[in-house]
Structures are given as structure tokens and as C-alpha cells.
Amino acid sequence: MENDNQMKDLSAQQMLDLYKTMTHLVPVRRDCTVERDDGIDLDAWLALRLEQWYAQLLMTAPVEWLPVEDVAAEVTLTADERGMVTATVPARCVRPVEWRLQGWYCGVTTFLRPGGALVGLQLNPWTRGGACRPAAIDHGDHLVLCGAVDGSVPRLSVARCVVRPADGHYRFHAAALSTLPALDV
């Protein structure tokens, strides 16, 4: 990525602190004392909003704003006699970006959804994707890669996905801060 210096890597607490600053909840006035016992847990509520925002960001934001990794080493492939390859997607993957089997002339960057009109074409050996124009159907927890090279054991050369960081951090481009929800208390 060109702008790696613009990528943020924040712990959950750092993200919460940043959000509180951006929504003018800090600095807190310390020159008086007010006590209540019937209020909400503001930090827990804001943390939930941030989690919802980040999940949506990972699903919909431009790929350039997000953590993308090649997970080819973590994927299990099984091929059938029709040349269809089922690839299990690691749980930390949110959405595929680019997948490519060895022997393909190009990778797949647009993924079909089950039930779509083009999916039906993949069931026919004459209209199915091949090494020159492969196709992939995204089922969420697995992909069906159409166009395996006949007679070969399928191997991935690329399996790039938007991933949710395993350490619970928020990783995103600074431009994504503009999409943070306004505080509507």
C-alpha cells in the first residue's frame, strides 16, 4: 500500500479514547463533583458503537483503507471431478479481495454471490470460468473456485482477504475516521 504511514493501528482503549476526543467527550471537567447511580456505562455503549462501525468498515470500505493479508497458507482446498475447487476461508477473513489458483492467467477480484444469474453459468462445463477467465462464488465461510486446470492438484498462488486483526486492534487508513458515526445522544 502506498500510504502505509497513514494506517492507524489502535488498541480498543486507544480507539475509544480517540472517539471520545473526536465527539468532544474529553477533556472532562474536573473542577466539580457530580454523582449518579442510574446512568449508563458510557464506555461500554461507545465501545459497542465502535465495534459496529468497524465491522461495517471491514465489509464495505475501499480495500486501500483496510488490513489485507494473503491467507493462502491457511486455506484448505478440495477439488471435485467437474473442476470446481472448494476453498475454506479462515474465520478471521471478512471478505475476499483477490484469489488465484496456480495455472490461472489472472486472479479473481469480483466474487459472485450464490443464487446470482452468473452462478448458474458455472454449473455448465461449456460456460464455466476457466484459466483465462476464472470465477469464484463467495459463500462466506468458503469460496467455490471455478476453472481449475484439468489434471492438476489445485494450489493457491494468491488468497488475499480483508482480515479482522486477531489482536483485537483497529487497523484502518486515517481517511476512514471521516466515517465514524456522530454522537447522537
pLDDT band (50, 70, 90) for residue 2? very low
Amino acid at 173: H
The domain of 170 spans 4-66+166-179
Residues 59, 73: one domain?
no
pLDDT band (50, 70, 90) for residue 49? very high
Residues 33, 82: one domain?
no
Residues 17, 35: one domain?
yes
Residues 32, 78: one domain?
no
The pLDDT score that the predictor gives to residue 3 is 53
Count of domains in the chain?
A: 2
Share of the chain above pLDDT 70, in %: 95
Nearest-angstrom CA–CA distance, 67 and 2: 13
Question: Is the CB of residue 110 less than 8 Å from the CB of residue 134?
Answer: no
Under DSSP, is residue 152 helix (H, G, I), strand (E, B) or coil? coil
Residue 141 lies in a domain: yes
Residues 119, 72: one domain?
yes
Residues 22, 89: one domain?
no
Taking all residues of the chain, what is their mean pLDDT, rounded to a whole number? 89
Kindly report, residue by residue over 108-120, the tens digit of the pLDDT: 999 999 988 888 8
Question: Is the CB of residue 144 less than 8 Å from the CB of residue 77?
Answer: no
Nearest-angstrom CA–CA distance, 87 and 10: 31
Residue 185 lies in a domain: no
The pLDDT score that the predictor gives to residue 110 is 94
Kindly report, residue by residue over 66-106, the tens digit of the pLDDT: 999 999 999 999 988 877 899 999 999 999 999 999 989 99
C-alpha cell at 179: 466515517
Residues 133, 77: one domain?
yes
Residues 46, 91: one domain?
no
Residue 29 lies in a domain: yes
Residues 62, 123: one domain?
no
Share of the chain above pLDDT 90, in %: 62
Residues 112, 92: one domain?
yes
The pLDDT score that the predictor gives to residue 87 is 95
Residues 104, 146: one domain?
yes
Question: Is the CB of residue 114 less than 8 Å from the CB of residue 181?
Answer: no
Kindly report, residue by residue over 163-183, the tens digit of the pLDDT: 999 899 999 999 999 999 887
Residue 87 lies in a domain: yes
The pLDDT score that the predictor gives to residue 183 is 78
Residue 184 lies in a domain: no
